[in-house]
């Protein structure tokens, strides 16, 4: 495994800081990859400050490979503290860079984590609209 992955990736896989579930989350979503069968569930808590909406916390439960687990953990780290608008600009490239590179065959694992973030934000915005009606 260590030939395929960077030390940083292995550390996030072995000791993820953001694994689990937020009990009073604002949103909860699940994304999956039909090809490999892996699944990620994310929960997110958003804090409102004046006119800003800041991602306070993201937790994940991932059934998948080492790259998928490390990507979920890094995604949570990158998104926390960002506004919803800032988080929309995160891409799989940011995660790959943070992980210290990734073999091309594993990039889809990272993309799945980004899809999870996109879905969290979509669901959050949908909920917000519904509550304002
Ligand atoms: Fe399925 Fe990595 S092989 S997410």
DSSP letter string, 8-25 = HHHHHHHS-SSBS--TT-
Residue 64 Cβ inside 6 Å of ligand 1? The answer reads yes
Inform me whether the pLDDT recorded for 4 exceeds 90.
no
Residue 84 Cβ inside 6 Å of ligand 1? The answer reads no
Q: Tokens 């009606």 belong to which residue?
A: 133
Q: Which CATH class is domain 7-132?
A: alpha beta
Active site residues: 36, 109
Q: What is the pTM of this model?
A: 0.94
pLDDT of residue 34: 85
Inform me whether the pLDDT recorded for 133 exceeds 60.
no
Give, using CA atoms, the residue closest to atom 4 of ligand 1. Answer: 109
Q: How confident is the model at residue 35 (pLDDT cuts 50, 70, 90)?
A: confident
CA–CA gap between residue 90 and residue 34 (Å, rounded)? 23
- The token duo for 109 is 């694992």
**Residue ranges covered by each domain of the chain:** 7-132
Neighbours of 122 (CB within 10 A): 13
DSSP code for 81: T
Residue 68 Cβ inside 6 Å of ligand 1? The answer reads yes
């Amino acid at each position: 495994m260590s030939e395929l992955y960077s030390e940083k990736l292995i550390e996030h896989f072995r000791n993820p800081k953001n694994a689990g579930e937020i009990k009073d989350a604002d949103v909860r979503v699940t994304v999956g990859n039909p090809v490999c069968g892996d699944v990620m569930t994310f929960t997110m808590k958003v804090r409102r400050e004046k006119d800003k909406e800041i991602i306070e916390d993201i937790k994940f439960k991932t059934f998948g490979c080492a790259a998928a687990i490390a990507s979920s953990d890094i995604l949570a780290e990158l998104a926390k503290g960002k506004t919803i608008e800032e988080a929309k600009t995160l891409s799989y490239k940011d995660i790959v860079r943070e992980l210290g590179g990734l073999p091309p065959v594993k990039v889809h694992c990272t993309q799945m984590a980004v899809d999870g973030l996109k879905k969290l934000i979509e669901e959050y915005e949908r909920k917000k609209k519904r509550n304002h009606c």
